[in-house]
Structure 1
Amino acid sequence: MLRAISRRLCVGFDERHTRLAFLESPEALKEGSRKAISVCQALHNLLGGPISLQHRHDVLDSMSNTLCRVLDPCEFVRHMHPDVVYTHAAQEAFTEAHTYMCELNTSSFLYEQLKILADPKNRTELDAETNKNVAQLKRDMESNGIHLPDEKRKLVMDLNVEKENISAQFLQKAGKQNPYGTLRSLLRSRNKLSKLLEYDSFAQQQLRGTILDSQEKVWHFLCAVSKKYSPMAVEEIQYLRKFQGLVKSAEDFTDEVRARLTHSQRQEMESLNLEEYFSVANCWKGVEILCHRVFGLQLKAVKMEPYEQFHEDVRKYAVLHEADGFLGTIVVDLFARNSKACQAGHMTIQLGCRPHVEVMKKVGVDVPVRQFPIVVLTCNAGSSGPRPLSSIGTSCWDTTLMHMNEVTTLFHEFGHAIHSIFGQTSVQNLAGTRSSIDFVETFSQLFEHFLSSPEFVQLFAKNSSNNTIPKEKVIKYAEMRSKLRALEIMDQVVMSGIDQALHGPEPIRTYFPKPDSVKGEIVKSVLGNYDDFGNGMLGLGELMVKIAKPLSPITPTVRGVLKSLSFEHMSSYPANYYGYLYSAVFAKRIWDKFFVGDPLNRKEGDRLRQEVMCFGGACDPKATLQAYLGEDLDDLEVWI
């Protein structure tokens, strides 16, 4: 049975646990990469002699952890550090360590070690967490074609490089040039790669390890959501026609009309003038209140060393639990600036796990019995214009105001950060948010729901005259956000369906709910091959319209579907876009069942941490959520 590390070992606070030693100098980054490679080579040599099954696994996990402790900090520096000397050093160190990691991922010798561990007769000697880690490491190596003959393996390696290059080009062109020709090339490259790896489609490859784990289940989920919310979406369309006069009665309700209404809705929300209550300081106070009241946590500010203070706006906090002691570190960078490649997000510098002390001793490296997580929370406050500065020249937390979408983003990303803090496992490869998107997005979206509670928001939202935000304004904002909820869900269904169809097998097909079915039956529509839709942007748009049309009462248009395409997610999370909608359903279910009546419910906060979040990615997400909710997740018509 899985148990959280943080419940096994109470640790007092020591500021040394929060150190960002890799920032001591640019050379420290490069030296860290060289040392990690040397340690990994020594660990690799241990596998050549007689070794137990558990030690065999522990060596492999130690190699993974050693490299990640270089790659993750370098990734952070590349995206966040304003000094080009540091970013260049980080790029050099990252390239060196990543190249070595790619060599390991194509090592037949290491793959044989994983095959030994994955052998059914050996699995019984290993615990559940170890077996899951073995399966994941083996799957990762097979994504590089390690299990294929040499000739095919070379083709897989070349296609992986090609795929990543095209993906980068696709993102670079988004919003600047016509990216759709590049998207076609990307889809073809992914499809060709999946066939070489002996999958029916790229979607089938990408869905391994997710809760739904197959296109069939994803389509059943999307169709179940479509069937349930389409009647509500029709009612919302009728409401808009009758009461808002924004759509002529004879006019089709198209996705372009929908986009226009979204803009109008945003303007209506802005008319509430809520920003005056949400300074950066107030919002951070809200995060601290949530941590303390719901989870028993204190966020203790820690003085940063000069070399750690890569920008004057950055702060560092130790996360302390009232019973379990020190849990980890959060680096907070809340203000917008041009030097940040990642304006809003959550990044891991180090994951929380138990290093394999005895294994590391054999290669001359002393490690602590516990490795604490270090995560970064970055946001985009003050991006809309000049912001006030404090007396010492830093961005002013008290007077810089956050737009409501920025407040939502802060709570969303903090949900990821606290999941990384809570999710401390035995092996680093399964710690924190290292799980499927249809699981990890649950907690980030759950944290957004707290902003719908007047009881919670009134604890921290105050204007410059120290007046608390009126309860009516919080309720009004929540109502406005949910007023067209069914239409928003339809948007998500459509984009998820397009994502699945484009990454599915050829001939391309879409699915939709069978009319008048009471058993959740779905209908397949075969649309043809890519070549049937020409080579240009218009042909791709027409294909997307055919995919979208049977899924939603909103009439799709070529221009509308092309404009709504999420370039970032098509590039970074292919065939996984549905995960946001799927996890949003979980988040709302958790909120409605356990928190809506008492948002600061400490008992339920502890239960959420102890029964779900503490396992990181080491648990079976479906079984864990079913046990926590007390519901059958396969009974879609009930729980969605």
Structure 2
Amino acid sequence: MFARSAKKALASIPSRQKFRFRGCLQDARHVRALATQVQHHIPASVDDKALVGVFDNPNPSSGSSPFGTTGLFGHPSLTHPASLISLADATLVRAQLLTDRILRARESQSELLKVVKNLDRLSDMLCGVIDLAELVRNAHPDRMWVDAANQAYETLCEFMNVLNTHVGLYEVLKAVLSDPAIVKTLSPEAYQTALIFWRDFEKSAIDLPPAERNTFVSLSSDILVLGRQFLEGANAPRPPASIKPSELTGLKDKGMGVRLQLQAQFTQRDLFVYPGSMQAHMIMRSAPEEEPRRRVYLAANSSTPEQIEVLETLLRKRAELARLVGRESFAHMTLDDKMAKTPDNVYNFLDALLKHTQPFAKRALRTLSQRKQAHHGLSSLPIIQSWDRDFYCPPEPPAPPIPLPALTLGTVFMGLSRLFQHLYGISLRPADSSSGEVWHTDVHKLEVVDQDKGIIGWIYADLFARRGKASGAAHYTVRCSRRTDDDDQHRDGTVEGAEIQIRESEDFEAVKRHRLPNQEGVFQLPLVVLLCEFPRPSIAKGPTVLEWHEVLTLFHEMGHAMHSMIGRTEYQNVAGTRCATDFVELPSILMEHFLNSPSVLSLFDADESNTVRQIGNHHNDPCHSIDTYSQILLAAVDQVYHSEVVIDPSFDSTAELVKLHNARGLIPHVPGTSFQTQFGHLFGYGATYYSYLFDRAIASRVWRDVFANNPLSRETGEKYKCEVLRYGGGKDPWSMVSSLLDAPELEVGNAEAMREVGRWKIEDDVGQPGRH
């Protein structure tokens, strides 16, 4: 509640809503006046072209200022690891003072009027250090910094766990929401923030007797421990498959096949092939004989009894937790503040999606069956097994819709900046970082510049692979938007002997505050970090050239980043990407769709010397629908595993998986396998794994109905910015989607709305998402 995921997030509606919305409409009118100009590309600016040099030069001359010295992210105090621990301790002192102030709020009406603001401020005070520590834990190359970040993280999270079950805070908030006169003073954004705190308190067993509340805390701790054990098991290596050398005859991959056969002849024994290895992938795609593929598949999808027990215990504990707070299941508890609202609505969505996808998947499966029939010279169509998928339809990497020259990292950033200028009047500008401001020389600082308001936030791009860095791609919200000029912090009080610590925390927060031109109030401006693991440019190899899937990943993560920048709200609990789990991926997936447009792709050409034209349909994986259908089944498995069935003492996760495959699956379940122990999303996305499919469906419809005809239209971009992005999590997502698509029937967000989204065709040839 008080700490929300650094990679997720939540936004808000401004307190002066009419003034702000009128400003948005004025922007839109201004754009309409320029509509004819938008048909021609905004030329690449000096700043746009500078992005190419920043990211493509192996030894960039700019990036680090020789004149300034500071600490991480410009905080003068954060110059050494111990300073992070000191900051956490100082934050703890101020957080306790603010907590005490909130607890005394019923002593005066003026303090009750500030409760929601102060709860949000308390959350931000803690999140501001926790989210920074989370980034350091995953990105900093210095072990001492990582250790300090772990300590700071654990110290503040422990305090947050106390706040999450604090009866006194709950009673004060209850008093606020029970007073119609106070509620009437709350802006829509403030009221939404209050509801977030209220729901989270209720999910934390706050109104239960002390003994049951203690049980809740104990179950929560058990779930965290089991979750870590489950993820360790999910990522643990599986035992090897034993493959006879004779079974590798005729491998399509001649080079690897010959090497394996020579290895077998030299050792004079069977080969041990480990799941996930290059040899395993090669066998699954290239081995003509079915038996080695079957054995590799069995090995890859095996589980130990201990791994299954950890998962099933985790699921039972979650169900117990939900029952403790009066919910039918963990899914019911989790979904009530999501777009889906109920498990039944999720099933409505998944059922509609299965019905839509099934004919395409069956058609693709028949194609595979025909290939298998021809391969073996059979008289009838054979059954396609799980180990046949990659052999008869080898997965191919995604490809651009039109031929493109090699795209360097700098070229893609230039294209992103030009796209944002077209859509939002916002550009990316390289900025020098002071000594000590970044954690590695690879990190580049970018200013996010609005053409009317100036700098509205910062992106720190840490994009190159290095040892010890977290793998994959991620968007970290290190700092959220929040209005600060009405903080009233001088009334928080003080503690004798702690003046230095209080000043340390206040100075840390002071660095974040900025007053923008043409806008009332002082704001804490958003700051995000993008982590990727692209190859570093070098003198020998030149700039980093991105594969198409890497371009997709970068666009995806920048969708999150721009949501953080534009969703710049007065309350941090609803800022930017701090929104419902089943809404947060919409902006990032929509960004991937822009890469289907030739006019957008032409933005990668600074001088427009190359003509980009549509030349027919691009590569489409014929088995794509099979994979989509399989993902829908996984979302259904997630719902089953978080339903009331896990309470039954006879619950068997493998049996439930088999039952679902027999009822709805296309490819038979393989006896002896138990994939569920490797389905890591069951922990982090428990009961919400459907979210990516859900947002993918909405993004496809938004692209088709809103952007596809003119993807560089400023008027369209302004509409999307004003009706979706700027609210973050401060407005009902169904209302935002309904308004954007001019579809009033969606606004209620009921079961029929979920079915309607499920019926929409998913046009997601744009590739795979980045890290959520």
TM-score range, shorter chain: 0.7 to 0.9
Structure 1: how far apart are the matches of 2:448 and 2:738? 29
Structure 1: how far apart are the matches of 2:430 and 2:546? 22
Give the equivalent residue in structure 1 for 2:636.
497
Structure 1: how far apart are the matches of 2:609 and 2:232? 45
Question: Mapping of 1:58-207 within 5 angstroms?
Answer: 58-119=117-178, 121=180, 122-176=182-236, 178=303, 179-207=307-335
User: Is 1:420 equivalent to 2:570 in the alignment?
Assistant: no
What SS does structure 1 have at the residue aligned with 2:448?
strand
Which one-letter code corresponds to 1:389 in the other structure? Answer: S
Deviations 1:567-599 (A, max 9, x none): 1x2121111000100110110001111222222
Cα–Cα, structure 1 residues 347 and 579, in superposed 2: closer, same or farther, change >3 Å? same
Structure 1: how far apart are the matches of 2:402 and 2:452? 41
Q: How many residue pairs are counted as aligned between the two chains?
A: 592
What SS does structure 2 have at the residue aligned with 1:316?
strand
Question: Mapping of 1:212-611 within 5 angstroms?
Answer: 212-242=340-370, 250-260=381-391, 264-266=394-396, 277-355=406-484, 357-363=486-492, 365=506, 368=513, 369-382=522-535, 388-390=537-539, 399-460=543-604, 477=618, 479-481=619-621, 483-506=622-645, 529=648, 531=650, 533=652, 540-558=653-671, 562=675, 566-567=679-680, 569-611=681-723
Deviations 1:202-261 (A, max 9, x none): 111111211011001000110011112212222232344457968976322344434555
TM-score (norm 1): 0.85
Structure 2: how far apart are the matches of 1:370 and 1:237? 55
Structure 1: how far apart are the matches of 2:617 and 2:631? 24
Deviations 1:479-511 (A, max 9, x none): 425x44433331221010000001111268xxx
Task: Judge conservation of contact 1:255–1:561 (CA < 8 Å) in 2.
Answer: no
Task: Judge conservation of contact 1:80–1:342 (CA < 8 Å) in 2.
Answer: no
Structure 1 spans left out of the alignment, 5+ residues:
509-528, 534-539
Structure 2: how far apart are the matches of 1:545 and 1:627? 42
Quote how far apart the aligned CAs of 1:413 are.
1.0
Task: Judge conservation of contact 1:62–1:356 (CA < 8 Å) in 2.
Answer: no
Structure 1: how far apart are the matches of 2:135 and 2:84? 12
Give the equivalent residue in structure 1 for 2:27.
none
Task: Judge conservation of contact 2:15–2:187 (CA < 8 Å) in 1.
Answer: no
More displaced 10-residue stretch of structure 1: 146-155 or 128-137: 128-137
Quote how far apart the aligned CAs of 1:552 are.
4.2
Deviations 1:451-503 (A, max 9, x none): 222232243279xxx99697578x654x425x444333312210100000011
What SS does structure 1 have at the residue aligned with 2:719?
helix
Deviations 1:48-82 (A, max 9, x none): 13243321222211111111111110111111100
Task: Judge conservation of contact 2:568–2:728 (CA < 8 Å) in 1.
Answer: yes
Task: Judge conservation of contact 1:301–1:318 (CA < 8 Å) in 2.
Answer: yes
Give the equivalent residue in structure 2 for 1:536.
none
Which one-letter code corresponds to 2:661 in the other structure? Answer: A
Quote how far apart the aligned CAs of 1:399 are.
2.1
Structure 1: how far apart are the matches of 2:383 and 2:77? 58
TM-score (norm 2): 0.71
Structure 2: how far apart are the matches of 1:544 and 1:225? 19
Which one-letter code corresponds to 1:251 in the other structure? Answer: P
Give the equivalent residue in structure 1 for 2:518.
none
Which one-letter code corresponds to 1:409 in the other structure? Answer: T
The alignment's C-alpha RMSD in Å is 3.2
Cα–Cα, structure 1 residues 180 and 242, in superposed 2: closer, same or farther, change >3 Å? same
Quote how far apart the aligned CAs of 1:307 are.
0.7
Structure 2: how far apart are the matches of 1:34 and 1:347? 23
What SS does structure 1 have at the residue aligned with 2:395?
helix
Structure 1: how far apart are the matches of 2:78 and 2:611? 41
More displaced 10-residue stretch of structure 1: 581-590 or 46-55: 46-55
- The match for 1:2 among 3, 13, 31 is 13
What SS does structure 1 have at the residue aligned with 2:449?
strand
Quote how far apart the aligned CAs of 1:83 are.
0.6
Which one-letter code corresponds to 2:432 in the other structure? Answer: K
User: Is 1:35 equivalent to 2:95 in the alignment?
Assistant: no
Structure 1: how far apart are the matches of 2:537 and 2:403? 19
| CA radius of gyration, larger in | 2
Deviations 1:157-213 (A, max 9, x none): 011111011111111222315443321221122112111122111111111211011
* Aligned sequence identity (%): 29
More displaced 10-residue stretch of structure 1: 555-564 or 94-103: 555-564
Task: Judge conservation of contact 1:283–1:461 (CA < 8 Å) in 2.
Answer: no
Quote how far apart the aligned CAs of 1:615 are.
0.3
Task: Judge conservation of contact 2:477–2:527 (CA < 8 Å) in 1.
Answer: yes
Cα–Cα, structure 1 residues 341 and 271, in superposed 2: closer, same or farther, change >3 Å? closer
Structure 1: how far apart are the matches of 2:204 and 2:641? 22
Quote how far apart the aligned CAs of 1:31 are.
2.2
What SS does structure 2 have at the residue aligned with 1:230?
helix
What SS does structure 1 have at the residue aligned with 2:445?
strand
Which structure ranks higher in relative contact order (CA pairs < 8 Å, sequence separation ≥ 6)? Answer: 2
Structure 2 spans left out of the alignment, 5+ residues:
1-11, 25-67, 238-302, 494-505, 514-521, 747-751, 762-772
